[in-house]
């Protein structure tokens, strides 16, 4: 006979929330990174091993406040 138990509110919430795909998760992370920036702010994106500046630049352009970029000394992007 199986054992039964009530689920906690956290467990219920995790079941009711739809799971998101890998691309959507990356988009949410980028949104969180750039959310503090306003027009005219400067920032620097330090690339991790294996990341390509072209991919990072493209993902930043898709964010709500699209940012212009210029290449800096690798591995980084300077964003305005």
Q: 26-47, pLDDT tens digit by residue? A: 888 888 887 777 777 777 778 8
43-76, pLDDT tens digit by residue? 777 888 888 888 887 777 766 554 555 555 444 4
Q: What is the dihedral of CA 72, 49, 54, 27, to 10 degrees?
A: -110
**pTM of the predicted model as reported, rounded to 2 decimal places:** 0.52
Domain ranges of the chain: 22-79
Say if residues 80 and 41 touch (Cβ distance below 8 Å).
yes
Q: Provide the 3-class DSSP secondary structure of residue 9.
A: helix
Strand order in the sheet with 69-71: 43-46, 76-79, 69-71
């Amino acid at each position: 006979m199986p054992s039964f138990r009530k689920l906690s509110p956290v467990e219920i919430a995790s079941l009711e929330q739809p799971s998101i795909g890998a691309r959507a998760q990356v988009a949410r992370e980028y949104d969180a990174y750039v959310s503090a920036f306003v027009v005219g702010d400067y920032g620097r994106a330090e690339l991790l091993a294996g990341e390509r500046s072209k991919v990072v630049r493209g993902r930043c352009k898709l964010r709500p406040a699209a940012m212009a970029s210029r290449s800096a000394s690798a591995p980084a992007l300077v964003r305005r």
